[in-house]
């Protein structure tokens, strides 16, 4: 069997103030969490409604919706607020179409950080734009100006929902995870199940109820050196197992 293709969402940023100054980018750790598990990334440019997603859907066996320094624009979840930090409406428009179509077809889907927020918005949920300003919530943002092994170290626990997908994957009721996000889930979208919650009540993982295949989003970053962290490795392998099962079903 050939290596499965996994679609990988890109961001669209203008790095130079001219027409040809646009770039489509993704963090390397998202590339490596695909290649390190013997699959191949298929980059999906953030062209919004201009992008024909059919070739992606016809050729991939899974889709990974990556984290980003940008935030989902509030207009995509019915809020007139101007938003906080960098926005990327082209990615928003691309991802929401692609994620909906992939889940409908039964293509395995994994959302990480921004990806879980996109999944929640797709199903009609809303976001806290600044979790640390919500009364009673922890400051979930990354620690500034420290080495990666400190920044990405586990900093709080999450309680897994009994009988949920993550509970089944890990076989435990609690995990220790890293935390590098400013925004997070507020109202959970219709048709989504809460898979994990932080000690402060912040929803940290969700899944699509009744999905035909793996369709999970997590707020932490299991893509950071997953083979050095057994909990992250088990989770990432579960996604890749679903990808290979889809590949086998579709192509034999």
Catalytic residues: 113, 221, 223
CB 215 within 8 A of CB 204: no
**Cα 198 from Cα 200, distance rounded (Å):** 5
**Cα 116 from Cα 160, distance rounded (Å):** 16
Pairing of strands 5-9, 62-65: parallel
Three-state SS letters, 154-182: CCEEEEECCCCHHHHHHCCCEEEECCCCC
**Cα 249 from Cα 252, distance rounded (Å):** 6
**In this structure, what are the phi and psi dihedrals at residue 84, rounded to the nearest 5 degrees?**
-125, 135
Helices (H) and strands (E) in the chain, counts: 7, 13
**Would you call 84 helix, strand, or coil by DSSP?**
coil
């Amino acid at each position: 069997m050939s290596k499965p293709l996994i679609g990988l969402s890109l961001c669209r940023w203008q790095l130079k103030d001219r027409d040809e100054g646009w770039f489509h980018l993704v963090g390397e750790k998202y590339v490596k969490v695909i290649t390190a598990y013997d699959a191949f990334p298929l980059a999906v440019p953030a062209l919004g409604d201009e992008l024909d997603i059919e070739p992606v859907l016809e050729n991939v066996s899974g889709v990974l919706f990556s984290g980003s320094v940008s935030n989902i624009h509030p207009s995509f979840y019915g809020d007139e607020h101007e938003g906080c930090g960098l926005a990327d409406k082209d990615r928003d428009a691309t991802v929401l179409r692609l994620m909906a179509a992939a889940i409908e077809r039964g293509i395995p889907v994994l959302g990480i950080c921004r990806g879980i927020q996109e999944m929640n918005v797709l199903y009609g949920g809303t976001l806290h734009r600044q979790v640390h300003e919500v009364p009673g919530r922890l400051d979930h943002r990354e620690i500034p100006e420290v080495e990666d092994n400190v920044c990405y170290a586990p900093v709080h626990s999450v309680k897994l929902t009994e009988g949920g997908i993550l509970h089944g994957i890990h076989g435990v009721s609690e995990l220790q995870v890293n935390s590098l996000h400013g925004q997070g889930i507020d109202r959970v979208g219709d048709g989504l199940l809460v898979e994990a919650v932080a000690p402060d009540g912040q929803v940290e993982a969700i899944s699509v109820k009744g999905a035909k295949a793996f369709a999970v989003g997590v707020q932490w970053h299991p893509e950071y050196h997953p083979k050095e962290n057994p909990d992250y490795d088990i989770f990432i392998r579960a996604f890749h197992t679903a990808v290979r099962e889809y590949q086998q079903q579709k192509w034999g």
